Each structure stands twice: as structure tokens, then as C-alpha cells.
């Protein structure tokens, strides 16, 4: 029997609630599957439980999802059947929701047949339009995708599947999705100018074998009358968590009780063991019950919580896993689609007492990671790091919506990061040559604050204990010593050239092809030059590549007696290289200003570098022109057309190509996801031909736009077409 997964996209007003969402554990609607006749009524009930298993008495929002108008449901959950068909009854409270199926018979049959077997594994996911979410499913699963607008099914939504391979799934006009083969891609629902996007992974159905059970928290000391909510994670033979229901028991039932969900209550002083069983596999956790009141830090009564999310390429944040964890839990990253799938297998264990606040953890790709998108096969897209770095992840902590960087823990955490053996083989190093490091904003590798590093070679993992959260990377151990010894290069009165041969640390910050040529007598004494990535430039004003040149012991810009030539590498995905220039950063005005010797700027397209002569050391950037340019291409087209932009996703600019077969008034305009006008790229008469226009990610006012999904539309007197693109800062 196939599983039916219900995914509802809901946009509704947020209720004013006295119950804290962090106190809620589950919401269940009953009966889960029912059949009634037209004219009959059925009372549905919804049970909202808190984290202790107690029932929460509060008002819920009831909705019915139906494409056939089978009936109505009131505020109490009373359903009245009005017409034959099938519907979904949904009860919701904030972000929590559950659903049940109801089938309405149009007429009561004279000889009723045996009822069909109930549909199993009904799941509801509530997310709003104009957001992106992640879904993992298996081959053979069926997903009924329903777009809700203010609680009402919107049957005008159009669905599309973008997947690799292309035949992994089908979806009809009603949103009925069927997974056919394993692969990944996106499901997109469009309602007017609004969209809902699902990052989809279809996995093959594989029989998994449990190998162990991990119980959190571990060793505990509590007082009589205290309770502990235990959690069990079933681990398969590959080290991944798998689904399953464990059976809880105690080694001594006279000392306490434990529920089916793992909630333990201490009754009598003594020592005992909590046991979780799954088949032949067991896991254990020790408890000491004291007859004295213990420090809350020793027990399990006061725990800080972690809201867990990850950042997508477009800049949006989505929940990671179930989106929540507590001190004592292990957060495991799984199911992230390509190209971020290198993070799958990452684990973070938060010991009890490690946090002093409730926090939000956002998992990101470090700034040094370069996203390489394959236009022909998204599964071949990848993240590239500088040569000495094998993998990396950025952990951003927010407390009360304020980013704290770095965030130091009261008790160090245990972090596990996977590595790719194929990458090590390609470079020619072995796993024992890898270490775990912090990566500073200036690109330095720092090992202070990371201890107890352990290599798990069979599972291709490296584990370490870390004192704070920032960017954590796996890198070659010898790259650290080389970086410290050669972090700065000497500049002498006799002049010379500084590049990778004199400053190997450039590779750690992605500046392999950077060079500085200093003529004789440009300086009066021997100095030490430091080259780093600047951290003071706002994201909306970022250059294609920015570099900070400083002289040790000197504050501000350093002036030369003679011009010095600097050569800055720029990313390969820069669209219009002829529009590149070198500018210097003004920190006071927060703007890029032209250099004095602008006539010396030279772009080397073959080497992807730009060079210029400068009179002082400061922050310089390879900056693209703020003015969009149109280039006419050869050949006369056979009809109107609007091509896919390239690259996509893009940063900082992208090229849009279009064709007109005749003299036409051509308008190309950019809109955001709300349908708001962003910028008009061109609006005028064009002769027959094929053209390319560059958008630099800025609006009409010249300000950089935020990350997200945008639409570009071509309009002529006889033709109109709209396409989608993704801007990623």
C-alpha cells in the first residue's frame, strides 16, 4: 500500500496565543480516516500535548481542504457532509498542524461494500506561500500538494517539476505528485505572482538494519519528584539515524516510572538505568536519584533550547530537521540536496549546561566556499574550497534575533564533520593529514579552542570538541604552520614581487593568482605587508573580489614614492568582464571610489585577473560597472524568444538573452516575488536580431537587491514571456 503524504501551503493570520510554541510537543486529529454519507455529521477532535505529555486546553483553527466542496467544518471541529467526494480536515495551532481524511458517499448504497483499507502515514506540513521548504520522500510515495490561501484551497495553482533525472516523478493539475525514481529537484506551485517552492529528494527504498541506540541525556543526577524527558536515536549500520519506535523500561521500577514516550519521573532515592529497546538492540542511560534538592545545573529541569535552521542559496532560512533541539540533544544534518549535500553527516552534540541562552542556530556555507552550478545536470553542481581546505561549515548563533559572533559555550560542544575521500585522493593526501580549525574572517586557520580531535576513518568523519561557534573547517594540518610562518611578506627598498611563492597563505583565502609588483625605491625602509579579505564591507556593496592591503604597524592607507602594480583575481562567473574596473573602498562614506590612475587598469580575461597601478595601500576591489550593457549578436531570429539567464543562481550579475524577428518596441523589466517593480533594463525600439543584456543585481535607485527569487519579463507589441531567476548574495 502506497503512503500518502499531505503537504499544505498555508497563508493565514497568526493567532494571539498564550501558549508558548516551545512548550508544544504534538497535535493529533481523530478519527484519522472516516466514511460518512451526504447529510450526516461527524465530530473531529484535536489533542494538543505539551513536552511533558499533558493536554493543553486552548482554541484551535479548523479548516477543510477539498477540491469537490464535500462539506464544511466549524470552529469546534464538527464536519457536515454536503456532497460526495473526499476532503482533508486540518486542525492547526501556530506552526503545529495535523489532518484527517473524510470520504463522503453521495448516496447510501443498498448493499454496502467492505470499506477500503485506510490510507496510512498521513502527514501535514504547514508552510506559507513565497517560502522554500525541504522534503524527503521515497520511491513509490504519493504527495497530495495543496495550496491554501487563508484556509481555502486554491485550485488555480499551477504545478511544475524541475528534477534530475527528469522522469523521477509526475504531478497533475491538482498537485498529485508520484515519486517514480530516485533523484532530486524542485516542485514549484504558482498562484498569480506568488510561488511556493519545495526542494525535493526522492530516495530509493532500502532495507536498513539497526546497529545501536543512543539515549539523550546520558548520565543524570536528579531529585525526588524531578522528571527527565529521554530521547532515543536509532542508528543504522552506516551511522545514520533511522525511524522506529523504541520500548522504554527501567532496571528498578521501585525508584521511578517511565512513559511510552520516554518521560521519566523520580519517586525514591537510589540508582537505576533507563533502557530503550528496538528489536535486539538496546541503549542505556544511568540515573542517580537524590533525596536532596540538587543544583538545577546538575539535573534536567532547566534546559535551554535550540531553534535549528539552514540558509539556502537564495538567502532564505528553512527549518533543519524538525527545527528544534534541547541541551543534551545531538543535531544531525541529513537530507540536504545537492550542491550542499557535503554537509550531510555533520553532527553537533550540545551537552547539558553548554548554553546560557535559548539560541537560534543557522547552518551556512562559509564565505570561502564557491558554488559551482551545473546548468546541464544539477546533481553535478558542487561547492569548491581553497586548496588546503577540504570541507567547512559556518555556524551562526542568534540570541533574541541578534547575531552573536563568535558565540562561546559554557561547556564545549562536540562537532563531527564528514570529509570526501574522493577529494583527498584527487589532491593526494590521507585522512590522518586532516585537522579541524576555526577560520577567521581574514582567512586565517586557528586551532585554539578546538581539542580532542578524533579521526573516524571507517565512516569518513572527524570529530572535535569546540569552545565557540563560527566557521569550522577541515584542512591539511601542515597548512596551518605554513600560514603562520608566511602570513606577512617583506617589502624592501629594492622592490620585488609578492605572490603565492612568497606568501603561501594566499591560497587559504582564495587569492591564488594575486600579485603585487613593487618597483625599487617605492618605500624607504623594509616593511611587512599583510594581505587579507576585508570584513568591513556591507554585503549589499560587495565587489566581485575585494582585497585588503595593510602594512604592519601602520594605521590607514600607506602611500608609496612610486606607483605599485596590484593584480587581483576575480571569479570565473563574472558575466561582463569588459565592465570590470578596480576601485578603492572608502570606509567613512561606505562606497567604492575610482582609483587615481584609472588609465592603468587592464583586464586579462584568459587569466581572470584585473591589474592597475596604485599610489597607496588600502582596500581595493574588482568592481563591475553599475550600468547595464546590451551587446548585439549575429544572425536574424525566426521568432520572438526569451532565453534562460546565465548564470542562475547568480552573484553579482547575470546575462539575459532575447530575440526579436522584426523591428519592435522591446521592454525588459525585473520584478520581485511580490510582483513589485525592481528595475527596467531596456525600453525602446530594437531592430530584428538577438541581444544580450546584463543585470547587475541592483534596483532603479542603484541599490543592491536582497537575495531571493526574481522574475524578468520581455514585452513587445505582439509577444510577452516571463522567466524566473535566483539572486544569491
On the question of a cis peptide bond just before residue 120, with omega within 30 degrees of 0, the verdict is: no
- The CA-based angle 510-514-518, given to 5 degrees, is 150
- Residue ending a domain, choose from 290, 321, 346: 290
Does any domain span residue 462? yes
Q: What cell was used for 101?
A: 481524511
Whether residue 195 sits in one domain with residue 225 = no
- Residue ending a domain, choose from 421, 448, 478: 478
* Local confidence band at 598 (pLDDT 50, 70, 90 cut-offs): confident
Whether residue 97 sits in one domain with residue 24 = yes
Q: Where is average pLDDT lowest: 175-179, 316-320, 344-348?
A: 316-320
| Closest residue by Cα to residue 388 from 514, 487, 473 | 473
Whether residue 100 sits in one domain with residue 55 = yes
* Local confidence band at 380 (pLDDT 50, 70, 90 cut-offs): low
Contact 255, 323 (CB under 8 A): no
Where residue 414 sits, what CATH number does that domain have?
2.60.220
Whether residue 514 sits in one domain with residue 474 = no
The total of other beta-carbon atoms located within 10 Å of residue 596's CB is 14
Does any domain span residue 300? no
Q: What cell was used for 181?
A: 525514481
* Res. 630: pLDDT tops 80: no
Does any domain span residue 303? no
Structural domain including 592 reads 486-624
DSSP structural state of residue 225: T
* Res. 60: pLDDT tops 60: yes
**Average of per-residue pLDDT across 460-474:** 87
For the stretch 201-249, pLDDT in tens is 777 766 667 788 888 877 778 887 777 878 888 888 777 777 788 888 9
Does any domain span residue 302? no
The Cα 22–Cα 159 span in angstroms is 34
Give the mean pLDDT of the chain: 76
- Residue ending a domain, choose from 290, 325, 356: 290
**Average of per-residue pLDDT across 114-127:** 49
What's the predicted TM-score (pTM) here? Answer: 0.38
Whether residue 449 sits in one domain with residue 576 = no
Where residue 279 sits, what CATH number does that domain have?
2.60.40.1080
* Res. 15: pLDDT tops 90: no
Q: What is the dihedral of CA 490, 495, 498, 502, to 10 degrees?
A: -50
Whether residue 139 sits in one domain with residue 122 = yes
Count how many domains the chain has. Answer: 5
Q: Where would I find the beta strands (DSSP E) of 509-618? A: 515-518, 527-532, 545-551, 558-569, 580-586, 591-594, 602-604, 609-617
Where residue 662 sits, what CATH number does that domain have?
2.60.40.4070
Amino acid at each position: 500500500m502506497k503512503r500518502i503524504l499531505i503537504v499544505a501551503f498555508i497563508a493565514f493570520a497568526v493567532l494571539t496565543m498564550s501558549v508558548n510554541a516551545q512548550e508544544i510537543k504534538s497535535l493529533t486529529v481523530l478519527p484519522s480516516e472516516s466514511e460518512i454519507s451526504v447529510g450526516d455529521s461527524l465530530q473531529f477532535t484535536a489533542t494538543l500535548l505539551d513536552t511533558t505529555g499533558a493536554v493543553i486546553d486552548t482554541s484551535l483553527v479548523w479548516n477543510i481542504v477539498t477540491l469537490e466542496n464535500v462539506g464544511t467544518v466549524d470552529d469546534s471541529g464538527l464536519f457536515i457532509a454536503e456532497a460526495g467526494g473526499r476532503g482533508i480536515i486540518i486542525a492547526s495551532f501556530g506552526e503545529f498542524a495535523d489532518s484527517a481524511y473524510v470520504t463522503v458517499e453521495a448516496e447510501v448504497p443498498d448493499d454496502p461494500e467492505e470499506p477500503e483499507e485506510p490510507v496510512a502515514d498521513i502527514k501535514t506540513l504547514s508552510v506559507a506561500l513565497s517560502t522554500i521548504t525541504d522534503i524527503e520522500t521515497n520511491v513509490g510515495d504519493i504527495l497530495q500538494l495543496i495550496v491554501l490561501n487563508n484556509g481555502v484551497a486554491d485550485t488555480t495553482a499551477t504545478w511544475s517539476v524541475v528534477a534530475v533525472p527528469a522522469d523521477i516523478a509526475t504531478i497533475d493539475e491538482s498537485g498529485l505528485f508520484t515519486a517514480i525514481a530516485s533523484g532530486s529537484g524542485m516542485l514549484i506551485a504558482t498562484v498569480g505572482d506568488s510561488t511556493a517552492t519545495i526542494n525535493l529528494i526522492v530516495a530509493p527504498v532500502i532495507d536498513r538494519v539497526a546497529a545501536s541506540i543512543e539515549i539523550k541525556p546520558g548520565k543524570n543526577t536528579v531529585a525526588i519528584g524531578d522528571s527527565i524527558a529521554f530521547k532515543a536515536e536509532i542508528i543504522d549500520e552506516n551511522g545514520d539515524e533511522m525511524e522506529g519506535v523504541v520500548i522504554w523500561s527501567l532496571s528498578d521500577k521501585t525508584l521511578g516510572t517511565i512513559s511510552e514516550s520516554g518521560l521519566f519521573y523520580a519517586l525514591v532515592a537510589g540508582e537505576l538505568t533507563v533502557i530503550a529497546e528496538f528489536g535486539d538492540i538496546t541503549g542505556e542511560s544511568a540515573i542517580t536519584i537524590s533525596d536532596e534538592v540538587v543544583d538545577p545545573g546538575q539535573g534536567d529541569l532547566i534546559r535551554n533550547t535550540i531553534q535549528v535552521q539552514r540558509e539556502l542559496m537564495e538567502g532564505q532560512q528553512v527549518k533543519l530537521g524538525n527545527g528544534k533541539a534541547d541541551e543534551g540533544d545531538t543535531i544531525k544534518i541529513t537530507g540536504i540536496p545537492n550542491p550542499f549535500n557535503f554537509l550531510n553527516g555533520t553532527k553537533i552534540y550540545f551537552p547539558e549546561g553548554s548554553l546560557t541562552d535559548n539560541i537560534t542556530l543557522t547552518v551556512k556555507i562559509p564565505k570561502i566556499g564557491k558554488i559551482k552550478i551545473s546548468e546541464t545536470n544539477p546533481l553535478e553542481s558542487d561547492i569548491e574550497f581553497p586548496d588546503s581546505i577540504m570541507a567547512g561549515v559556518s555556524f551562526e548563533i542568534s540570541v533574541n534575533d541578534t547575531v552573536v559572533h563568535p558565540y562561546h559555550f559554557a561547556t564545549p560542544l562536540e562537532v563531527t564533520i564528514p570529509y570526501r575521500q574522493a577529494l583527498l585522493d584527487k589532491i593526494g593526501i590521507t585522512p590522518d593529514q586532516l585537522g579541524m580549525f576555526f577560520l577567521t574572517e581574514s582567512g586565517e586557520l586557528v586551532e585554539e579552542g578546538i581539542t580532542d580531535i578524533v579521526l573516524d576513518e571507517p565512516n569518513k568523519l572527524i570529530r572535535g570538541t569546540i569552545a565557540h561557534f563560527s566557521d569550522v573547517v577541515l584542512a591539511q594540518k601542515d597548512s596551518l604552520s605554513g600560514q603562520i610562518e608566511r602570513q606577512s611578506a617583506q617589502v624592501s627598498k629594492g622592490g620585488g614581487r609578492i605572490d603565492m611563492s612568497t606568501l603561501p597563505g594566499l591560497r587559504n583565502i582564495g587569492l591564488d593568482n594575486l600579485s603585487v609588483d613593487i618597483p625599487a625605491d617605492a618605500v624607504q625602509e623594509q616593511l611587512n605587508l599583510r594581505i587579507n579579505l576585508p570584513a568591513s564591507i556591507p554585503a549589499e556593496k560587495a565587489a566581485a573580489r575585494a582585497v585588503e592591503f595593510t602594512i604592519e604597524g601602520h594605521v590607514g592607507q600607506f602611500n608609496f614614492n612610486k606607483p605599485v602594480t596590484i593584480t587581483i583575481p576575480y571569479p570565473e562567473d563574472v558575466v561582463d568582464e569588459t565592465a570590470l574596473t578596480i576601485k578603492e573602498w572608502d570606509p567613512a562614506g561606505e562606497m567604492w571610489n575610482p582609483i587615481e590612475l584609472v588609465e592603468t587598469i587592464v583586464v586579462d580575461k584568459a587569466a581572470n585577473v584585473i591589474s592597475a597601478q596604485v599610489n597607496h595601500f588600502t582596500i581595493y576591489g574588482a568592481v563591475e560597472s553599475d550600468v547595464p550593457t546590451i551587446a548585439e549578436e549575429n544572425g536574424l531570429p525566426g521568432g520572438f524568444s526569451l532565453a534562460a539567464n546565465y548564470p542562475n543562481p547568480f552573484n553579482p550579475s547575470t546575462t539575459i538573452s532575447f530575440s526579436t524577428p522584426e523591428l519592435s518596441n522591446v521592454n525588459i523589466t525585473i520584478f520581485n516575488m511580490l510582483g513589485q517593480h525592481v528595475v527596467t533594463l531596456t525600453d525602446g525600439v530594437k531592430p530584428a536580431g538577438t541581444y544580450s543584456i546584463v543585470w547587475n543585481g541592483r534596483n532603479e535607485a542603484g541599490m543592491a537587491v536582497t537575495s531571493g527569487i526574481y522574475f524578468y519579463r520581455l514585452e513587445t507589441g505582439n509577444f510577452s514571456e516571463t522567466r524566473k531567476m535566483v539572486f544569491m548574495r
